[in-house]
Each structure stands twice: as structure tokens, then as C-alpha cells.
Amino acid sequence: MAARACSLWANSGGTKRPGSVTPADPDLGRSGTQGIIGRCVCWPWVPDRAPRVRDDGVFESMCGIIGILGNQAAAPRLVEALKRLEYRGYDSAGIATLEQGGVIGRRRAAGKIRNLEAELAAHPLAGASGIGHTRWATHGAPTMGNAHPHATARVAIVHNGIIENFRPLREELQRAGHKFDSETDSEVIAHLISAGLDQGLPPEQAAAGAVARLEGAFAIACLFAGAEDTLIGARKGSPLVVGVGDGEMYLGSDAIAVSPFTLKVIYLEEGDMAVLSRARVKIVDAKGARTERPVHVFSGGVAAVEKGNHRHFMQKEIYEQPETTGRTIGRYVDAFKEQVELPDLDGVDLNADSAILIGCGTAHYAGRVAEYWFEQIAGIPTETDIASEFRYRQPAFGKKSFAAFVSQSGETADTLAALRYCKQQGLKTLAIVNVQESTIWREADARMPTLAGPEIGVASTKAFTAQLSALAALAVGVARARGRLSSQEEARLAHALMEAPRLIAEALHAEAAIEPIAQELSHARDVLFLGRGIHYPVALEGALKLKEISYIHAEAYAAGELKHGPLALVDKDMPVIAIAPNDALLEKLKSNLQEVRARGGELYVFADADSHLQPGDGIHVIRMTEHAGHLSPILHTVPLQLLAYHVALAKGTDVDKPRNLAKSVTVE
């Protein structure tokens, strides 16, 4: 850094916050059903094979919950609902009902829901009240013993989330004489509630007392022995809805779960507990006060229900990113072996001489980020190209190359045409797509799903970070295939990937600081984005998001190129947004930012907490979390999404359906 003073930054120094991945703890167990990444609460507890994981349980997967207080046989209806929740996972499934005399009956099966159906065919369950669960696991072999529901003689529960303090709770309950049948953290919920019931508390008080002691994120449904007209649900950090029927009530992870039975849905809010009978819904908020929540009517189609309490799909999808990146990373990272695993890639030789990454728009920018990873981690010569231009330049290929095609929809016409061109030239092709069974997925030689789930907003958010997550894993896999990694280095990279969902969740906390800045930027006609190195493509993506949904002209440049032309545009009316991670190029970036301030440009800097960049006159600093190393582009993408979103809100544009654009471009 040049020896000159500026209020933009303070002297370097300070201590980097240590990473949260800790050595294996003998009390943290290996999942016989899933690993750490992308897990739901079905996280077993086997002391002899312990993974490394933070205690905050950020790596939460989607599991599916259904509860029914009905007037007809519950078991087939529970299974029907679970099938609608299969997108949330089907590594194991189970149901519990109140049979004759109010006795809890339970059936569970490892594997897909059809295995549960077979179990029920052989051993039916009676009763009109029940709960069900389908689970998404990412590592290990799912077992029936760890499948939900979990039960005692007095209560059965299903749960999505992670109980952070399950170990001390479990030990306390064991000392009190409780016997555990599974290795999951979820089972403590059933025993906590049972302990309250044993003390003479009614179901509502017993459930409330148990929930008050839980730390972590969860959605819970509870069924009580002898209480045939009671179903209780609670949520904290995981979604849960109430379905209001005609003389029936339902609980579900989302409206899709209950939609076969009712079109009336109540979205529970954070901290709510719902006490259901067939005649009424009682909701108690996080402060313990009775409250009312509005009833929404499902008008048909997934898009009508999946927004939930969010104002826009884009907002919802931004906030889903800790989950969607965790799920994608969980597909490719084995937390127990401490390595990346890339299934279904037999059609592509990763020990190649070179690689080509092809996509359009946001997917292209994902490829441009990955180009750095491929070259820096894997040491493989890599080029990126825009799908719409690729085949027209008649590219020359190496003798031993592969081409990867990045697409959310798997139907993008230009990307599909580029894939077909490569196949005609004899190249092996890899599809990195979000929609399985799409055309690109089917025609490629090998495939990597990104597991972002349905993305409704036209401006891609969670699909982009899922693409980056998959590409980061692929870079590690290519490095290993090329003999570029030691086991220790691969373990380090695997841990970094596992930390990404937590860091994304922390990055979302920047929203409060972004909102007032967005109000200022909403009045701009032009905005300049700057980044260096691997963050230059992030700047490109940030500019694209702003253009897409706010209709403000925005351009992105590599910051070192300022003096080669763009600096002529900088004045007090040209806001400049800079991405400032604490990496090897930070000092050079600071010099570039000085050039902006010297010309009166207004700076908005997204800086890591340890970058020592300070606000001042004309300098606005939005604090990020600690530097995330080579995965920093994933983290810095999130606040730029929020910025574009809030600028669009301020301008009153159609956030989810911006003019002239479509989600899937199926024409050239």
C-alpha cells in the first residue's frame, strides 16, 4: 500500500476470528443416516466416529413434516402428504398414529417412501390422528432406528432442525432414568415432553416447557397418547404451517404438504406454538401471549404458496441460501472422510489437460469465479465462455479436455447448443444444473445437481450460490484427480466448504446496514461496481442483479482497469460499489478506491471484518464476516443480492418478474 493517509482504512492488525470447525468431539456423533452437511435434525450420536462440526447446526437440511387431526384413516393421508414432500428428502420416512384407546402406533422405514408403504401394507396403522416425517440425509446409511417419529409411551414427535444443546439435555434425562432408543438429537424432545407429562402437566404446558429449553433451529409436531383431539406444533428457525380444514386440522413443513386436504393455510411466525383441535387453532407467540395469524388461501400452483411470509420470492430465496448451499455442499463433501466425493462422473475424466466452463448470465459468472478455483487449486488450464458466443468462434480444444455447462433450468437454449457442439467435437460434457431430468441434464455425459430447489424469482440468487458450491467441490475433485492435493490439504478445503453455510447466514445480517444505502442508490442513474481477482466476477454479478430488478444502469470493472478508461466517468453523481475482502489484493484495491475518492466519487465498500477499512466522508463501509479464503466470492455475493433487492423495493419495480426477462431462456 502506498504511504499515504486516508480515512478509508485503519492500520492493519488485529486477530482473525478462528474458524469454528473443531477437532472431533467424542460426544459428537457420526450420522448413520447423514453427515454434518445438509443434515436435518435426524443427526445421530455415535461416539466412536465423530465428525467435525460447529455446535450451531447451520448445516440444516430440509426434512418434511406432516400432522393430521382428521375424521378418517390417517395413515394413507400421511403417506400422501409425505409424497408431496419428497423434494425435501426421502432417505427415511415414518408415521405415528393414535390407535384404539389412544395408544401411539409407529411405523418407520429407511430409504424411500415406498419402503414405508410396504411396511404399512404388512403392518397397518389405524386411527384418524397422526404425524409423519420424511428425511433428507447426505452421508451414511439411513437406518430405521434413527428415522422419525421418535416416541415414548406418552408422546411422539417429528422434527426438522438441530438441537444444539441436546447433549446436556440427554445426559440430564438419562440421569433421571430415561432410556433412549436412537442416536439422534431429536429424541430429547420426546423425552423432555414426557418428563413434563410425568409431572402432571397437560400437553400444552409440557410441550411449551420443553420448547423453552431447546437451543437451535427447529420445527416440531407432537402427538400425545390418549389425547385424540390434540396436535401441537412449534417453530424456531424452520418453517411450519397450519392447515385449516372442515372439522379437521393439519400441520406441515409447507403448504404443499397440506394442500391435498385444505386450501386454507396459516404461516406460523418465529417462536410460535400452535395448539390444534379439530374445532380451533390456538397460537401462542414467542413471548407466551395468545395471538392470531392470518389465514391465506391457496389459489393453485406452487408459486402461490411457497413465498410464505416473505414479501417476494427473491427475498425468500436469498434467505434460503444457508440451507441450499449446505444441501449442495452436503452432496459432495463427506464430513467423516474429510474429502470431496463426486458421484456420477464416470463419463468425464477429471485428470484432463484443460477445462471449459460455459453458461449464460449469472451461470456464466459462476463459471468465471470457478475459473480461478480450477487454476489455483487444481492447476488445470481453464477458459470460460458465454454460451451464446461459444460455438460461433469455432473454438479449438485440447486433446484431453472436458466442458462443463452451468444452468439453473437445464433448458437454456444457447447453453444446450454449446453442449451439443462440444459433443459433436468429441468432448466429454458435464452438466451442472438445478433441474434434474432437464434437457442439458439428460444430454450430458455426466451430471452434478446443484440442489437449490425451485427458484421462482427471475433474478437468480440461491441457484448462483449453489452453482458456486458445486463448482468449488468440483475444483477440489479435479485437483485430487490431477494429484495436486495432499489428504491434509483436501481436508482443509472440505472444512472450508462446510463452513460456507454458516458464513452465508452471518452475511445476511448485513441487511440492516444495506437498507438505508439502497435508498440512496435508488436515485442513481448509473452505478459502477469494482472487484479484483476472483471478486471481479462477483462485481459483474452484483451489477447484473442491480440492472435486472431495479433497471439502473450498472457496470462492473476489474478495479485495476479504472485508470484505463472508467475513471473518466467517476464524479459525485456516480456511486461506486467495491468488494473488499481481506485477501492478497486488498492493498491494491485500497489504492484504486483512493483514486475514486480523489475524484469525488461516493464509495460503498463491502469489507471483511478484518479488512480494517473505515468509513469517512463519502465512504460507506458495510461490514462482512471474517474472510472466507477462496470461498469469499460466495459470501460477498449475498449482500450484493440484498442491495439489488432493496434498491428495487425503493424504486417500486416488480422484483420477482422484472420487465423483458424470463426465468428460463429457451430461445437463442
Which positions are annotated as active-site residues?
63, 663
Residue 665 half-sphere exposure toward CB, CA atoms < 13 A: 19
Instruction: Compute the distance between CA of residue 52 and CA of residue 50 in angstroms, rounded to an integer.
Output: 7
Q: How far apart are the first and last CA of the chain?
A: 46
Q: Closest Cα partner for 97 from 127, 64, 66?
A: 127
Task: Supply 375's cell numbers.
Answer: 487454476
For residues 471 and 432, is the Cβ–Cβ distance under 8 A?
Answer: yes
Instruction: Compute the distance between CA of residue 143 and CA of residue 495 in angstroms, rounded to an integer.
Output: 26
Instruction: Compute the distance between CA of residue 537 and CA of residue 560 in angstroms, rounded to an integer.
Output: 14
Q: Closest Cα partner for 252 from 214, 281, 220, 283?
A: 220
Instruction: Compute the distance between CA of residue 627 and CA of residue 610 in angstroms, rounded to an integer.
Output: 7
Task: Supply 57's cell numbers.
Answer: 447446526
* Residue entry with cell 414426557: 194
Task: Supply 549's cell numbers.
Answer: 430488478
What contacts 112, CB < 8 A, 6 or more positions away?
86, 90, 93
Kindly tell me the burial class for residue 294, based on how many C-beta atoms sit within 10 Å of its own C-beta (0-12, 13-18, 19 or more). Answer: exposed
Sign of CA dihedral 617, 593, 564, 556: negative
553 strand-pairing partners: 526
Phi, psi at residue 404, to the nearest 5°? -110, 135
Instruction: Compute the distance between CA of residue 534 and CA of residue 539 in angstroms, rounded to an integer.
Output: 9
